[in-house]
Structure 1
């Protein structure tokens, strides 16, 4: 029969063994993640990538309720010093409820830009970058964001191809080819990164930009479903490495990987989606030197946005 001292020694040995195994596991995972990230950077090491410089620091505001609001800015960089934002979204992650929400902000919304006169929303980024866009969203919609992520469309193509080499399944609703760099036929099919980007950017139909935004949201949902699979979770560090040259953000690399990992390991929450301006919540107008714009019914849209996010 074991004495109390012998049992204590046995328990201590088990504790030491468990701790040693835990340390080995952490080292293996860390080593694997570091290697995958490095492999990702090698894929895109020849890329020119994004190299925007902005005069003003990004002064994001952290949410008091534990949610993370990120301003996603999509650009089609072709070497210009300045570029208008092609797509703008607010992505919200609520870790407590395991909820992901995406708000698409139409680029032709007619807004007051602080320090300037009224322009289309996407002009704010062109004028001074992410901070002025953040201020514009705050002034017009009374919504704060904590971080921004500036994403070149080339990153999207490369990340999709790294995540899903055989393509991402999408039900293409109509033939598409005009001004998207690819030709797509109707029907359920697996699209490569380039094809998926073309599908998300198509707007030469009766729906115009509203149809484009709807397809962008559909594509995000499809890619997310791939990413939350075991295969996607394993590839997360590599995806971050692949995209790194094409991303500028206020987040550190560790914060990007932490947020990505939390979302991927959360169980794959459904994405809730909203488009601003809301349906039947705007009028159209045209101004000299600016062109056609969307003029929201502000009270209705602000109420819908706050109710959705808060």
Structure 2
């Protein structure tokens, strides 16, 4: 009887070793493939120059409830330190709640900039880089930001063209051409990177910058949704590599891949959006030295951000 039990265990033990070996090989094959794809993306963009070669200080802090808050800044002057940030957003990822949120702060919002008095919030980047933007958001809205990402708009074009060779499907609501470098006609269509950038930058109509911010949020949610409709997880390492010259961030590539993979691999996950200032909380004013600004009810908008991110 003992010899029969011994014979039964031996094949099982051998099968278990083979199974572990296969898992081991698959794991390292995946790591190797990801690294190869990442390097391919870097090589593809190696002759491009963007914001990645600049060094910025950033003393960010993790959210108090386990959330990760990321400062997203879009710039359109190839990253010169004197440029103002054209786009200011707070992206929040909460792994415990599987929630993804996006707050857009309009660039003409009139706030206190530490050490520089009151000015438009987009001036903070020109005065002191992402660290001063972080301090400004913390002082005015009470939000801790752990990471920052400065995105050169040229990188946005390359990302879209690499991820969506056939373009991103967008319903363009009206004809657009003024000061965006391209001409867009209304209707549902697929836009390449250059035309999609023109779409999100257009603001020469009755709603001005409010429409531009709305289109930015629309495009981000649409791109995120269409990422899910293609098998993008395998493509993520290369996309990160392609974007490397155009993104200046204190996030590790592994952090970016983890958050991106987590989002793409889940079903029925939406990105909730908020615009600051909220409706009924601001007025248009002209200020000497700053021009046309959005004078906001600070407490009302601060409460709106906290409730939005907490819920």
Cα distance in 2 for residues equivalent to 1:10 and 1:96: 42
TM-score scaled by structure 2?
0.95
**Matching residue of 1:17:** 18
Q: CA deviation at 1:12?
A: 1.8
**Cα-to-partner distance string for 1:224-274 (whole Å, 9 max, x where unaligned):** 112223422221111100000001111122222222222222335111010
Check conservation: 1:228, 1:268, Cα contact below 8 A. Answer: no
Aligned counterpart, 2:44: 43
Q: Is the Cα–Cα contact under 8 Å of residues 149 and 247 in structure 1 kept in the other structure?
A: yes
The answer as to 2:285 corresponding to 1:285 is: yes
Is the contact made by 1:84 and 1:122 (CA closer than 8 Å) also made in structure 2?
yes
Per the alignment, residue 113 of structure 1 pairs with 113
Cα deviation code 1:272-307 (max 9, x no counterpart): 010000011111111111101011112211111100
Contact 1:73 1:87 in 2 (8 A): yes
Is residue 93–residue 99 contact of structure 2 (8 Å, CA) maintained in 1? yes
TM-score (norm 1): 0.95
8 A contact 1:40–1:240 mirrored in 2? yes
Aligned positions of 1:194-233 closer than 5 A? 194-233=194-233
| Count of residues paired in the alignment | 308
Partner of 1:158: 158
8 A Cα contact 2:169 2:188, kept in partner: yes
The CA distance in 1 between the partners of 2:87 and 2:242, in whole Å, is 21
Kindly indicate whether the alpha-carbon contact (under 8 Å) linking 1:58 and 1:130 is maintained by their aligned counterparts in 2: yes
Give the gaps of 5 or more residues in structure 2.
Answer: none
- Return the alpha-carbon distance in structure 2 between the equivalents of residues 254 and 276 of structure 1: 31
How far does the alpha carbon of each residue in 1:48-82 deviate from its partner, in whole angstroms, 9 at most, with x for none? 1213343xx21111123221111100111346342
Residues 69 and 90, structure 1, Cα contact 8 Å, conserved in 2: yes
* CA distance in structure 1 between the aligned counterparts of 2:206 and 2:91, rounded to whole angstroms: 27
Tell me the distance in 2 between the aligned counterparts of 1:5 and 1:196: 67
Name the CA distance, whole Å, in 2 between partners of 1:149 and 1:219. Answer: 18
Inter-partner Cα distance in structure 1 for 2:7 and 2:193: 62
Please state whether the residue corresponding to 1:74 is helix, strand or coil.
strand
- Residue 308 of structure 2 corresponds to which residue in structure 1? 308
**Separation of aligned partners in 2, 1:230 and 1:83:** 36
Aligned to 1:69: 69
Paired position in structure 2 for 1:52: 54
Matches within 5 A, 1:237-276: 237-267=237-267, 269-276=269-276
Deviation at 1:41, TM superposition (A): 1.1
Structure 1: any 5+ residue segments left out of the alignment? Answer: none
User: What RMSD in Å do the two structures reach over aligned CA positions?
Assistant: 1.5
Aligned residues of 1:83 and 1:126 also touching (Cα < 8 A)? yes
Instruction: Give distance in 1, aligned partners of 2:256 and 2:16.
Output: 34
Q: 1:139-164: CA deviations, max 9, x gaps?
A: 00011111001110111110111110
Q: Which residue of 1 aligns with 2:86?
A: 86
